[in-house]
Amino acid sequence: MMRTRPLKVALLGCGVVGSEVARIMTTHADDLTARIGAPVELAGVAVRRPDRVREGIDPALVTTDATALVKRGDIDVVVEVIGGIEPARTLITTAFEHGASVVSANKALLAQDGAALHAAAQEHDKDLYYEAAVAGAIPLIRPLRESLAGDKINRVMGIVNGTTNFILDKMDSTGAGYQEALDEATALGYAEADPTADVEGFDAAAKAAILAGIAFHTRVRLDDVYREGMTEVTAADFASAKEMGCTIKLLAICERAEDGGSVTARVHPAMIPLSHPLASVRGAYNAVFVESDAAGQLMFYGPGAGGSPTASAVLGDLVAVCRNRIGGATGPGESAYAALPVSPMGDVVTRYHISLDVADKPGVLAQVATVFAEHGVSIDTVRQQGKDGEASLVVVTHRASDAALTGTVEALRKLDTVRGVASIMRVEGE
């Protein structure tokens, strides 16, 4: 039986995503009603600039007092798309206190204070859903915490930032340098005027914290995630990658240790074989590769940002939360029972591609190989080119810990025959 009293929704933020959420709520109102089992009504929209014209939104719904809006006793669901830490954190907890469930797209807040927000939702018996916080329209959060809830996830690796993937893809396909590719991304609207959050890996690190927490039933905060940006990636790195049958991606990698006793979460550029499914992800698209015991290998692919894709994820959460509201239930909350320790980056084991500038004279290769051996790092392949007293030495290792590799590089820098370390790149996905 259809419920006639509408479920009232408060929208916090009406920018690119918020305005699209409001539009879809209006244009798809009949479908949403049928899917939920009750009408949904936009009851208020909190903004910072009330004088701006917002097509399709009744000006009477617009307010600058977000706190008063979430405190209204008749609000069923608060949709938060303003981003940042404050005032979003206070508004969300206030919404719980006054009887509303919350749908959020706020990756930074969830990565930093997800545990506290989940605790507040549980205390007040309300939902906290955030599919839109990671990878835009791609269904990822719900499959990890619901569809794969009976499985053991061992690794989550993916491209979770469209801006960086566009830049790296452009460098790969055209031979462009980093700045040239960034300028094109900015001109096309893929990169912000200040791209720091994207190119330095902050955005991807927040998403990695969320994914690791869900995948491993462990609280992982943003501070637990190792982060390395991609601004130092060069055309020469791509040339080296191609010689190995690889390309370069900025990857978010969350993995369980082989003994199952700890987890790691990291974001950094890496070479990845062209045979790996993530290597073919082009442009501003996102993709996440999941490895689990029972399901095996799964890949989730699609647009990871933008108004419409992100709004799609928000509306999916809104439908689920409204259904729960009608049924008097709540969906899955935080699952952190495993409480596994998060290991430091030094414990991470992977392969490495190291390019050295060395003197072009006899004995250099032997010196370098000795340093690798002394630090317990096994060499897989080595290639040397030299001319006019200068040479380059490219070493690809077998799997080694980050700590061992760091010690190796420090020792190499002390050799008189090593002029400098041109680049160090991890090799993943093998």
- Is 71 considered catalytic here? no
**Exactly one of 152, 207, 242, 387 is catalytic; which is it?**
207
Reported as a single tens digit per residue, the pLDDT across 390-420 is: 788 999 999 999 999 999 999 999 999 999 9
**From CA 367, how far away is CA 251, in angstroms rounded?**
33
Reported as a single tens digit per residue, the pLDDT across 241-257 is: 999 999 999 999 999 99
**From CA 362, how far away is CA 375, in angstroms rounded?**
22
Q: Residues near 292 by Cβ (< 8 Å), separated by ≥ 6?
A: 148, 151, 152, 153, 154, 298
Question: Distance from CA of residue 302 to its chain's centroid?
Answer: 14
Q: Is the pLDDT of residue 1 over 60?
A: no
Q: Residues near 169 by Cβ (< 8 Å), separated by ≥ 6?
A: 282, 283
- In this structure, how many other beta carbons lie within 10 angstroms of the beta carbon of residue 53? 6
**From CA 165, how far away is CA 210, in angstroms rounded?**
20
**From CA 266, how far away is CA 157, in angstroms rounded?**
10
- Answer for the pair 120, 109: CB distance below 8 angstroms, yes or no: no
Q: What percent of the chain has pLDDT over 90?
A: 90
Handedness of CA 244, 245, 249, 252 (dihedral sign): negative
Reported as a single tens digit per residue, the pLDDT across 336-390 is: 999 999 999 999 999 999 999 999 888 899 999 999 999 999 999 999 876 666 7
Instruction: Report the DSSP pairing between strands 285-292 and 263-273.
Output: unpaired
Instruction: Report the DSSP pairing between strands 62-63 and 40-46.
Output: parallel
Tell me: cis bond preceding 344? Omega within 30 of 0 counts. Answer: no
- Average pLDDT value for residue range 269-273: 98
